[in-house]
Amino acid sequence: MHYRLSTLAFAFVLAAVVAGPARAQEEPEGQAAFTRTMRPVISGRLYAVSSMKPQATEAAVRILEAGGNAFDAAVAGQAVLALVDPSLNGYGSDTVILIYDAKTKRVVSINGEGTAPKLATIDWYKEHNGGKLPVNDSLLSGTVPGVVDAWFTLIDRWGTMSFAQVLQPAIEVAEQGFVLPAGLARSIATSRKLQKYPSTMKLYWPGGKPPQPGDVFRNPDAGRTLRRLVEAEKAASGKGRHAGLLAARDRFYKGDIAREMAAFSEQNGGLFRYEDFASYTAEVEQPVSIAYRGYQIYKNASASQGPAELFALNMLEGYDLRKMGLNSAAYIHTSAEALKLAFADREKFLGDMDFIKIPFDGLLSKDYAAERRGLIDPDKASLELRPGDPSKFMKTPEPLARPVTVTTEGDADHVGDTSYIAVVDKARNMVSFEPSLHSSWGTGVVMGDLGLIFNCRGDYYSLVPGEANALAPGKRPRSTLQSTLVMKDGEPFMILGSPGGDDQVMRTLQTLVNILDFGMNVQQAIEAPRWSTRAFPASPFPHTMYPGDLSVENRIPEAVQKALIAKGHKLTVSGGWTMGSNAAIMVDVKKGFLSAGADPRVDAYAWAR
407 tagged catalytic: no
Position 19 in a domain: no
How big is the chain by its Cα radius of gyration, in Å? 23
Bridge-based pairing state of the strands 430-436 and 421-424: antiparallel
Position 78 in a domain: yes
Region 400-411 average pLDDT: 92
Region 69-80 average pLDDT: 98
Which pLDDT belongs to residue 417?
77
Question: Within 13 Å and on the Cβ side, how many CA atoms surround 307?
Answer: 29
Which pLDDT belongs to residue 31?
43
Position 406 in a domain: no
- Residue 36: pLDDT band (50, 70, 90) is confident
Residue 18 reports pLDDT greater than 80:
no
Which pLDDT belongs to residue 416?
74
Q: What is the mean pLDDT of the chain?
A: 94
Q: In terms of C-beta density within 10 A (0-12 exposed, 13-18 middle, 19 or more buried), how is residue 265 classed?
A: buried
- Residue 349: pLDDT band (50, 70, 90) is very high
Position 489 in a domain: no
Region 592-609 average pLDDT: 97
> Residue 409: left (phi > 0), alpha (psi -120 to 50), or beta?
beta
Percentage above 70 pLDDT, the chain: 94
Position 49 in a domain: yes
Residue 411 reports pLDDT greater than 60:
yes
- How crowded is residue 378: how many other Cβ atoms within 10 Å of its Cβ? 10
Catalytic residue among 57, 143, 418, 511: 418
Q: State the alpha helices, DSSP H only, in 317-365.
A: 321-324, 329-349, 360-363
Judge contact between 97 and 432, C-beta under 8 A. Answer: yes
CA-wise closest residue to 64 among 594, 437, 473 = 594
Position 131 in a domain: yes
| Domains held by the chain: number | 1
Q: How many Å separate Cα 227 from the centre of its chain?
A: 27
Position 431 in a domain: yes
DSSP 303: S
CA distance 492 to 494: 6
Position 98 in a domain: yes
> Residue 150: left (phi > 0), alpha (psi -120 to 50), or beta?
alpha
Residue 34 reports pLDDT greater than 90:
no
CA distance 132 to 415: 20
Q: Could you report the per-residue pLDDT of 498-537, keeping only the tens digit for each?
A: 999 999 999 999 999 999 999 999 999 999 999 999 999 9
- Domain of 241, in residue numbers: 45-283+420-477+597-608
CA distance 540 to 439: 9
Q: Could you report the per-residue pLDDT of 291-337, keeping only the tens digit for each?
A: 999 999 999 999 999 999 999 999 999 999 999 999 999 999 999 99
